[in-house]
Amino acid sequence: MQRPYQLHENPMSRQIIFAVTLLVTIGAFAFTVSRIMKYFSFTRPAFPIRDPGKRFNLMLKVAFGQTKIFRRPVIGFFHALVFWGFCVILFGSLEMVIDGLSGSEKVFKFLGPVHSFFMASGDVFAVLVAVSIIIFLSRRLFFHIKRFEGPEMKHRSHIDAATALTLILLLMVSLLTMNTGYVGSKSISGEEIAGLYPVSAIFAGAVNGMSEKSFLLMSEISWWVHILLIFVFANYLPYSKHFHVFMSVPNVFLSRLEPLGKMTNMDNITREVKLMLNPDTAFSAPAGDTPPERFGIRDAEDATWKNYFESLSCTECGRCTSVCPANITGKKLSPRKIMMDLRARMKEKGPLMVENGRDYSDNRSLIRDYISEEELWACTTCNACTKECPVNINQVSLILDMRRYLVLEEASAPGELKAVFNNIENNGAPWQYSSEDRLNWAKDLEINVI
């Protein structure tokens, strides 16, 4: 019996063509990933990854449950449909790859009810995802959504979003036509249909006058279009904001588990303070031949691997910026821009560091060339952006470390802060009065001191 996707006299040639295409796809994807991994090697260590059970539960709740997305219930529902649809359709995509390599047909049909469930779910979700994508495209093309705009959202960003959404829409359409051709050909020939296809069965029944050969041709063409779109989409994602398709779930798993307002100590500062408090440790300290470690973040390579991971996970949805009190009141700060700038700076400098080493300088930096001091000092560290981010990006930690560089390395801070620092140094308190005068306000008050 001839499989419905196989119209060639020599089925082996089809498998060879598919295998070569798959190898090219994997090779191109591996090259891109290896390049990104080299960029990660230039970054600094981050916090240790502990409590895997707690992290797994957080991943189930935020990433798979899409709980933060539902804070905007209507559009969040459609986004959740797209995410869940991809999770379900992934089963069918894996089956297609195995079929393409082995020349089989519906290789997972031996799973019986499980296979039928995934095929039916994928068929239904293909329609739901397609409708959701049409809504997303309409919002971007015909409606002025404020959080999709901003100085950081260049024309290229809008083209990128429209391209990715269009690819997803084509994926869903090709999946439905593939299933329709499969169901139609099997129905005419009287052969068993592997799986359930509730939507495609309706489409196949609505098409009158098509022959079995026409249905087979529809299925064959759609099969190739769908699988090739998957391969193209997979290699397009690392160069797109939609890279979060791969990065968002692990980023949620790797979230900081401490309270959002907790500011971490800098290890190199802690060592310096301990040395000052106990000078005897200076004799046991390592030799001073190595250059001192930089305080804070000046450029992309000073960021931690987690900072860079988060920049790759950013969906550019603008939810962080839309709740930022500094941005709302007209300040230049945009938390989304901060993450986009780190990603762009690493993309610019990363290849140069690969060629010339981590210490290479192109006389540019993340601070000032990408992010101004005005933006950094506008942050109130309220953590509204981190709270709102649907993939748990911590924008504030990056901003704080860039501030630390400005203060500790360049002594650069707004005048009001410098006055506070001077008062702490001279008076042991943020105020301009000495410690002896601190209680003068209470001289004439009748206070019983116990």
Q: pLDDT tens for residues 317-363?
A: 999 999 999 999 999 999 999 999 999 999 999 999 999 988 899 99
Consecutive 10-residue averages of pLDDT for the chain (450 residues): 45 86 96 94 90 95 93 93 94 93 90 94 96 94 87 90 94 96 90 92 87 91 95 93 91 93 82 75 54 84 95 93 95 95 95 92 94 95 94 95 93 87 84 78 72
Which phi and psi (to 5°) does residue 175 adopt?
-65, -45
Query: For residue 397, what pLDDT is reported?
Result: 94
- 384 in a domain, yes or no? yes
Instruction: Tell me, yes or no, whether 259 lies in a domain.
Output: no
| Unique residue bearing structure tokens 């308190």 | 429
Domain assignment present for 448 = no
Instruction: State whether 38 and 135 are in the same domain.
Output: yes
List pLDDT tens digits, range 192-235: 899 899 999 999 988 877 888 999 999 999 999 999 999 999 99
10 Å CB burial of residue 318 (0-12, 13-18, 19+) is buried
Residues 227 and 277 in one domain: no
- Looking at the structure, tell me whether residues 161 and 233 fall in a common domain: yes
pLDDT recorded at residue 167: 95
Structural domains counted in the chain? 2
Asked whether 313 and 251 are in contact (CB, 8 A), the reply is: yes
What's residue 292's pLDDT? 63
Q: Are residues 417 and 304 in the same domain?
A: yes
Q: Per residue in 234-278, pLDDT tens?
A: 999 999 988 988 999 999 999 999 998 888 888 777 877 777 777
Show the tokens assigned to 57. Answer: 């539960």
pTM score? 0.87
CA–CA separation, 158 and 407 (whole Å):
36
Query: Domain holding 298: CATH number?
Result: 1.10.1060
The domain containing residue 347 runs over which residues?
Answer: 267-282+294-428
Q: Are residues 205 and 322 in the same domain?
A: no
Cα–Cα distances in angstroms (integers) from residue 368 to residues 260, 341, 375, 394, 444, in the given order: 27, 11, 10, 21, 51
Q: Is residue 287 part of a domain?
A: no
